[in-house]
Amino acid sequence: MVGVISLITGMAGPSGFGSASTAEKVTEGIDANNLTAIITGGASGIGLETTRVLALRNVHVIIAARSMESAEKAKQQITQENKFARVDIMKLDLCSTKSVRSFVENFIALDLPLHILINNAGIMFCPFKLSEEGIEMQFATNHLGHFLLTNLLLDKMKQTAKTTGIEGRIINLSSIAHRYTYCRKGIRFDKINDRNGYSNKKAYGQSKLSNILHANELSRRLQEEGVNITANSVHPGVIMTPLMRYSSYLMNFLKIFSFYIWKNVPQGAATTCYVALHPNVKGVTGKYFVDCNEFKPSPFARNKPLAKKLWDFSDKLINSISKA
């Protein structure tokens, strides 16, 4: 109930910020000129605003995007507004493990540090479709691609954290939709790619649940290893962005009756930017954030055995793709 009241009123939580806070507001006064970040899907929607605000705080940002044309336009937009912005673009298609591996190889070749990884990109409510590697598209893009990307970049992040002494931060963008998934088991592991019984909304919820479970299990492993890297997940809020292109008519209709819970893009990017940069989040890991405050996710999202099962399942799935 407190969360709903905060959402409607914009009332600040324990962090001092709330649903009405913007990305610029929650990062005000922070100078991050010694940090480098990768943002997937950083060329549009809240990803673009996240890129803009991190660049405003002097972070060197690499936009990882499927469309180089969109990424170039985003870069130009940001650098025209801020001549000191450090923004580079690189091609990444998350639904292709080949593209993910190629992106990582190209990034490593740049010999840059990596302090922040924001797994922001995603698709939502799309019709049933398989990736070129035979994986259901929402699971492939929203979870599996980010799972592989994160694993392949971990050594670089560990090296950066060790040599610089600066805490690394990994942020997965999830959604309150993680509560709406297929079954009592949370994830239908045996039917990930099955057209029968496919629901575009439940498949989306399943992928967003996977984002939280991935961050939680990653956090556990990093803590066990004693690595100076945190892993958290966030719900950005309900925002009309290109992510909703498959359901824009429905969302516009619903917005008429639920206008009080919708955020604008600067507000939608606030929680991501807060968890990525704010000093109050130092050392905080394995948590789920809503409106820049820690929030308790669904029981499925707090299920440690389920998180480990998803990790093992994802690892095995990627290995099977690599051998194909």
d(CA 214, CA 252): 31
Beta strand pairing call for 288-290 and 293-294: antiparallel
d(CA 275, CA 85): 21
180, 198, 249, 274: which is the annotated catalytic residue? 198
278: number of Cβ within 10 Å: 17
d(CA 169, CA 161): 10
36: number of Cβ within 10 Å: 21
DSSP string, 148-169: HHHHHHHHHHHHHHHHH-PPEE
Counts of helices then strands in the chain (DSSP H, E) = 12, 10
Looking at residue 68, its amino acid is M
Indicate if 198 belongs to the active site: yes
How far is residue 47 CA from its own chain's centroid? Answer: 9
- As given in the structure block, the two tokens for residue 249 are 């008519």
Helices (H), 10-44: 23-26
Q: Which sequence positions are flagged as catalytic?
A: 198
